[in-house]
Amino acid sequence: MLISNLEGTVRLAEKVARGDLSVEVNILSEKDTLGKSLTLMVNTIKNIVKDINMLTDAVQEGRLDTRGKPDKFRGEYARIVKGVNDTLDAVVGPLKVTAGYVDRISKGNIPEKITDEYKGDFNEFRNNINTMIENLSQFAFDQNCGKSRQTL
């Protein structure tokens, strides 16, 4: 009976290892520490998947301020959720800065160049916005100089 129970537990662990969280853990007794631990592990992984799916849905719906709750988890599980939050922050921050600058420019306000430092593709966004600001500033200057000459 012990070998049969252990084989069932091994099959269950193999399913979880392959990503099958539909498993049912049978806790054999009050002293079944392995069964209780597997139940906790499966439920924790299900909750992480639920949080990440919620974040994915939020981003797809344009709710960019939504974050997971790492305090619902312990240890490395909490680090996973925190890592996803940090990734979102790293993407959303520069996008919001860019959107703010585009909004100001669309309203006729030419702002100062973006001075924040970014890495990789985000730096390219910054450089493109800054080039647009330079070109618009030069265009506005040229237009003002032309008007000044006409009034003389």
Kindly tell me the sign of the dihedral angle through the C-alpha atoms of 61, 94, 125, 52.
negative
pTM value is: 0.78
Per-residue pLDDT tens over the stretch 37-59: 999 999 999 999 999 999 999 99
Angle between helical axes of 33-60 and 75-106 (0-180°, round to 10): 0
Reported as type and span, the H/E element at residue 64 is none
Can you tell me which residue has the tokens 């099958």?
20
Instruction: Quickly list H helices, the chain.
Output: 2-17, 33-60, 75-106, 120-151
Per-residue pLDDT tens over the stretch 77-116: 999 999 999 999 999 999 999 999 999 999 989 999 999 9
Given a contact cutoff of 8 angstroms between Cβ atoms, the answer to whether 145 and 152 are in contact is no
